[in-house]
Amino acid sequence: EAQLQQPLGTPQVISVHAGEETVVPPLQLSPYVPPPLPKPLAPAVDLTVTTRFVATTTFPAAAEAHVTAYRFTYAGTQVDTLRLYVPATRADAPAATGADATADLPMLYMVYPTAVDLWQSISVAYAVQGYAVLAISPVAARGLDIDGHAADARVGLALAQEGALSEQIRRGPTVALGGSFSSAVLHRLLRGNQPGVEPAAGEEVALSHAIIGWVTVGGITDAFQGTTAFYRGELMIPPEYKYLIPALGAPNLYPLAFLRYSPVYTAAQLPPTLIIHTDADQIIPITQAYALEAALRQANVPVDVFYYEDVSHYLQIDDQMTDAGREMFYIVLDFADRMLKREEKREK
C-alpha cells in the first residue's frame, strides 16, 4: 500500500479532466508487513498483572468468570486495557501457571471499541461457554493512529499465543470480534495475516495468520463512502466523535488514512467473516455492511450475515437484552465454534 507524495512527504495532487489523458508519477506498492515483535515478548513489554477479580453477568443465568487485568508498554505507550476471562470452574488457581492449567481452552479475541471493562458482561457470557476470552480496547494516547491500535492488539494476541497470560489457553487459531471503530482496528490487525509465514519454534500456528475468522458488529467498512455521508449530514455521530472524520484530513489528499479504515477494499485478503448490523444504525449505516458482504462474495471469501431491526448499535447483555441481542449472541458463538471445529458445549 502507498500513496503519491512529494519528496518531503506532502501530498502529490493530480488533476483529472474529462476527455483528457493525465500522466501521473509511478506509484510503487509494497505489501503491508507489521514489524517483528521482540522475543521473549513479556519482559520486553514489561507485562504486569494489575488485578484479579471475579465477574458475573445475568446471561447466561449466574454466569461467572475469573478475570485477570494486565498492563504492558509498547512503542512508547502504556496499555492497561488487556483482560483475560476464563470460566470460573477452570480458574480456581487463576495464576498463569495454575495447578489446573491444561492448555485446552480455545480463545476468542475481543477488540472492543470503548473501555474494555464496559463490555465485561459480554466477555463473561462467552467465557462460560468454555472459552478463554482475551479482550483489549484502544488507549487514548494512540488517538487516530489505527496502526498503533492494531499493534497493541497484536501484542496482546502474541502474549496469549506464547503462553505469557495463561497456560490454560490453547495455542493456535483464534476467532476475533470487533465493533464500530474497533472493526477498523481489527481490520488492520488482519492485514498482518500474510500467507506463507512459517510458525516459530514451539508455535502451532504463526502469529501472522492466527486469526482464522472474524466478526464485525456495526463496523466501518468504507471510510471514503462514510466520509461522503458525513459531510452530507447523513450520519448521527456521537458528540465525542464529531471531529474524528475531519481529523483524518481530505480523502483526496490522504487516501491511505481512509484505506486503513476500509476493509471493503481488502476483502480478498480477509479470513471467513461474520457481518452483524442493524438497519436502525444511524452512526454507521447498514449500507456499509452490504458493501463488505458484496466485496467478500465477489472475492469468494466465506461470509455469514445477520441483519436485524433493533435500536442497538452493539451487542449488549444486560437486563434489557432484546430477542435480537440473544439471537446475535448465539450466532457469534455458532460461528466461533464452527471456525474452531469445536464440539457444542454451552450454557443456556
Quick check: bond before 60 cis, omega within 30? Answer: yes
Q: Which of these, 82, 66, 62, lies nearest to 74 by C-alpha position?
A: 82
- Beta strand pairing call for 211-217 and 273-278: parallel
- C-alpha 297/C-alpha 286 separation (Å) is 17
Residue 121's φ and ψ, nearest 5 degrees, are -60, -35
CATH superfamily of 41-222+262-339: Alpha/Beta hydrolase fold, catalytic domain (3.40.50.1820)
What's the count of helices (H) and strands (E) in the chain, helices before strands? 9, 9
Domain positions in the chain: 41-222+262-339
- C-alpha 32/C-alpha 199 separation (Å) is 19
- C-alpha 138/C-alpha 58 separation (Å) is 26
What does the pLDDT read at residue 34? Answer: 85
Read off the DSSP letter of residue 347: -
3-state secondary structure of 309: coil
How far, in Å, are 254, 289, 293, 313 from residue 230 at the CA level? 17, 17, 22, 17
- C-alpha 242/C-alpha 259 separation (Å) is 20
Cross-sheet strand order for the sheet of 48-57:
48-57, 63-74, 77-87, 132-136, 107-111, 174-179, 211-217, 273-278, 303-308
- Residue 236, all three cell numbers: 448521527
What does the pLDDT read at residue 93? Answer: 43
- Tens digit of pLDDT at every position of the chain (348 positions): 888 888 888 888 888 889 999 988 888 888 878 888 998 999 999 999 999 999 999 999 889 999 999 999 999 999 999 999 999 986 444 444 443 455 689 999 999 999 999 999 999 999 999 999 999 999 999 998 999 999 999 999 999 999 999 999 988 899 999 999 999 999 999 987 654 444 554 444 455 568 999 999 999 999 999 999 999 999 888 787 788 889 999 998 899 999 999 999 999 999 999 999 999 888 899 999 999 999 999 999 999 999 998 765 556 666 678 888 889 999 999 999 999 986 445 444
- C-alpha 196/C-alpha 198 separation (Å) is 6
Counted residue by residue, the chain has a size of 348
Contact 211, 175 (CB under 8 A): yes
- C-alpha 193/C-alpha 187 separation (Å) is 10
Read off the DSSP letter of residue 263: G
CA gyration radius for the chain? 21
List the beta strands (DSSP E) in 26-181.
Answer: 48-57, 63-74, 77-87, 107-111, 132-136, 174-179
3-state secondary structure of 294: helix
What does the pLDDT read at residue 315? Answer: 62
